[in-house]
Structure formats: C-alpha cells, structure tokens
Structure 1
Amino acid sequence: MIGVILAAGMGTRLMPLTKEIPKALLKINETTLLERMIKNCIGADITKFIVIVGYNRDKVIDLCPEIAEKYDVEIRTLVNEQYDVTNTSVSTFIASSLIGENPEDFILVNGDNVVDPEIILRIAECPHTGMIIDNFKELNEESFKIIIDDETFNEDKSISNGNINSIGKGLDIESSSGEFIGVSKVIAGDIAQFNEILSKLIDEDPQNYYDFAYKDLSNVKTIDFVLTNGLKWTEIDDHRDWEIAQNLVMELEKV
C-alpha cells in the first residue's frame, strides 16, 4: 500500500505562517505536519509514499530524504507545476495515474490534516475503496458534507455503505450524513475507473476537488464510509484551525 500526501497548495489563509513554506512544513512540537502524517501511516504498515508538491516545492523535496532515512521508508516527490491555478483533482491525478501503471492500494490524505492515528489504521484496514466520514462533528457551511443514499451499517456501526447522492460544502446540513475529512483509500482494482472519473473532472474544471470523483465511483464500485465515531481530527485552512491543530496534537501526544 502507498501513502499519497497532497502538499502542493499555497495556504494563503495562513499567511504569514506560509509565506516561506507550504502548510505541510508547519511544525507542532518540533514536528512538521508532513512528518507526523508519515508517522501515522507507518503505524498502519505503509512504507512507500508519494508526496505531491508545488508551492515552495524545494523545501519539501529537500526534507523528504531526511524523513525517509529517519524512518527507513521510501518517499517519492512529484510536482504539480500548475499548483497555483489547479486544485486537488490535478494533484491527485498526478499520483494516481502513476500508481495506475502498476496498480496498488493507496491511501490519499490532505497534507494539512492532523488526525488521531487510529483514523489511518481504520482506513487502511477497510476492504474496499473507502472514505473517512466524521459522523460526530457539528457541521457548518465550510464542512465538506456528504449525503449517502440507502445507507446501511455494519454490525458495530463503524462502517456504512451506499451511493453518494451529493458531496460538497454547499449541501443542506440537516440532510447530510457527515463530513468527509480528506482521508480516503482507493484499492488497486478501482484505480482505472477512479482515474477516468478524475480525468473528466479535470477536463470540466481543473479547480475541481478530487473528492467529487467518489460520487460517480460509488455508482459502480463499493465504497466503505468509515466513521470516526468521535475520533478527533482537524484540517488546517486558517489561523483558527491552526490553534485547534496545536491543541489537538497536545491532546493526542499527551504533552
């Protein structure tokens, strides 16, 4: 299994913290977000990584060999040359099209996430293509919401299945099943169709999020919606999120 980490974005809402570095190199407890996510993935027995870089790419490219040596893992960096005029669909496709040449399961994570390590374990262990869905957090207008049709749950209510009716920020909060947190998995047998859908999304609008690809994929493949059931996480979009992330790391690492 491969860990794909998206770290190409500019992080403009975090200026001046991101004036010289991308978000993935911000440090909490002297550890970058990138290294912390790689450590989480190593805990799920992932030892091969692809990091998609763009903004201030050289600083990430220079750091990756140090992380690789420190943890005895393989890290390959790929560049999204159009990071400033595209979105995560393009960054994802750069990695997934390469993986598709020799298909292998991969976990896809946003480089600006801080998560309970158990979240990575859960997505790694799910048998199908899967998405981590927060079913506890109070949703708001900025939440990347998901509506799942004909949702059915497994015995312990940790995973559900169904078709994705809609996904995005503009959905009705009351109708939503939860929030997609930017942690997902694509199994080897689904990569070809995932890439076809991604390619169409990019043709429609290179500013599309990769998240939308799962909607069409859910119509033809089984997707596991792996529930957080209270496990904590945060994305880091702005300064308020940055404060939340620092507090969350202190809690998770019991500092």
Structure 2
Amino acid sequence: MIGVILAAGMGTRLMPLTKEIPKALLKINETTLLERMIKNCIAADISKFIVIVGYNKDKVIDLCPEIAEKYDIEIECIENVKYDVTNTSVSTYLASKVIEENPEDFILVNGDNVVDPQIIINLAECEHTGMIIDNFKTLNEESFKLIIDNEEMNEKNTIANGQIQAIGKGLDIPSSSGEFIGVSKVVADDIADFNKILDRLIGEDPQNYYDFAYEDLSKIKTIDFVMTNGLKWTEIDDHTDWENAQKLVEELEN
C-alpha cells in the first residue's frame, strides 16, 4: 500500500506562517505536519509514499530524504507545476496516474490534516475503496458534507455498498450523513475508473476537488464509509484551525 500526501498548496489563509514554507512543513512540538502524517501511515504498515509538491517545493523535496532515512521508508516527490492555478483533483491525478502503471492500493490524505492515528489504521483495514466520515462533529456551512443513501452500520462501524447522493459544502445539514475529512483509500482495482473520473473533473474545471470523484465512483464501485465515531481530527485552513491543531496534538500525545 502507498501513502499519497497532497502538499502542493499555498496556504494563503495562514500567512505569514506560510510565507516561506508550505503548510505541510509547519511544526507542532518540533515535528512537521508532513512527518506526523507519514508516522500515522507507518503505523498502518505503509512504507511507500508519494508527496505532491508545488508551493516552495524545494523545501519539501529537501526534507523528504531525511524523513525517508529516519523511518527506513521510500518517498517519491511529484511536482504539480500548476499548483497555483489548479486544485486537489490535479494533484491527486498526478499521483494516481503513476500508481495506475503498477496498480496498488493507496491511502490519500491532505497534507494539512492532523488526525488520530487510529483513523488511518481503520481505513487501511478496509476491503474496498473507503472514505473517512466524521459522524460526531456538528456540521456547519464550511463542512464538506455528503449524503449517503444507505446508512446501515455493520459490525466494523462502516457503511458499505452505499451510494453518494450528493457531496459538497452547500448541502442541507439535517440531510447530511456527516463530513468527509480528506482521508480516503482507493483500492488497486478501482484506480483506472477513479482516474477517468478525475480526468473528466479536471477537464470541466482544473479547480475541482478530488472529493467529487467519489460521488461517481460510488455508483459503479463499492465504497466503505468509515465513521470516526469520536476519533479526533482537524484540517488546517486558517489561524483558528492552526490553534486547534496544536491543542489536538497535545491531547493525542498526552
């Protein structure tokens, strides 16, 4: 299994923290967000990584060999040269097209996430393509919500065989099943279809998020929707998120 970490974005809402470095290199307790996420993936027995770089790429590229040597893992950096005019669909496609050449399951994570390591472990154990859904958090207008048509839990606290009826921030909150947290898995057998959908999304708008690909994929493939069930996480978009991330790390490490 491969870990794909998206770390190309500019992080403009975190300025001046990101004036010289991308978000993935911000440190909490002397550990970068990138290394922290890699450690989480290593706990799920992942030892090969692809990191998508863009903004201040050289600083990420220079750090990756140090992390690879420290944990005895493989890290390949792939550049999104149009990072400033595209979005996560393009960054994801760059990695998944490479993986399609020798198909292998991969975990896909946003480089600005801080998560409980058990979230990655639970996802890695999924038999099918899977998405981590927060079913505890109080949703708001900014939550990346989704509506799943089958919400019957199995013994592993996952929803399998359900289709995504809608996904995005603008959904009706009471109708939503939860929030997609930006942590997902694509199994080898689904990569070709996933890439076809991504290619179409990019053609429609290079600013599309990869998240939307799962809506169409769920109509032709089985997707496991893995609930957080209270496991904690945060994305880091702005300074409030940054403060929350630091508190969460303290909580997880203590």
Check whether the contact 2:150–2:159 (CA below 8 A) recurs between aligned residues.
no
1:214 matched to 2:214? The reply is yes
Residue-by-residue CA offset, 1:150-197 (whole Å, 9 max, x unaligned): 3322035x1012100011111111110000000000000000000000
| Equivalent in the alignment of 2:239 | 239
Computed over aligned residues only, the root mean square deviation of the Cα atoms, in angstroms, reads 0.6
| Equivalent in the alignment of 2:64 | 64
| Equivalent in the alignment of 1:159 | 158
Q: What amino acid maps onto 2:246 in structure 1? A: Q
1:40 matched to 2:50? The reply is no
Residue-by-residue CA offset, 1:78-99 (whole Å, 9 max, x unaligned): 0000000000000000000000
- Partner SS state of residue 97, structure 1: helix
| Equivalent in the alignment of 2:138 | 138
- Paired with 1:18 and 1:186, the residues of 2 have a C-alpha distance of 30
- Partner SS state of residue 206, structure 2: coil
Unaligned runs of 5+ in 1: none
- Paired with 1:172 and 1:25, the residues of 2 have a C-alpha distance of 35
Equivalence map 1:98-109=2 (5 Å): 98-109=98-109
TM-score, with length taken from structure 1: 0.98
| Equivalent in the alignment of 2:86 | 86
1:203 matched to 2:220? The reply is no
- Partner SS state of residue 150, structure 2: strand
| Equivalent in the alignment of 2:169 | 169
Q: What amino acid maps onto 1:249 in structure 2? A: V
Aligned pair count reads 253
1:21 matched to 2:21? The reply is yes
Residue-by-residue CA offset, 1:45-77 (whole Å, 9 max, x unaligned): 000000000000000000000000000000000
- Paired with 1:152 and 1:136, the residues of 2 have a C-alpha distance of 16
Unaligned runs of 5+ in 2: none
Check whether the contact 1:151–1:163 (CA below 8 A) recurs between aligned residues.
no
Check whether the contact 2:163–2:219 (CA below 8 A) recurs between aligned residues.
yes
* Structure 1 residue ranges (4+ consecutive) displaced by more than 3 angstroms after TM superposition: none
- Paired with 2:171 and 2:15, the residues of 1 have a C-alpha distance of 29
Check whether the contact 2:21–2:59 (CA below 8 A) recurs between aligned residues.
yes
- Partner SS state of residue 182, structure 1: strand
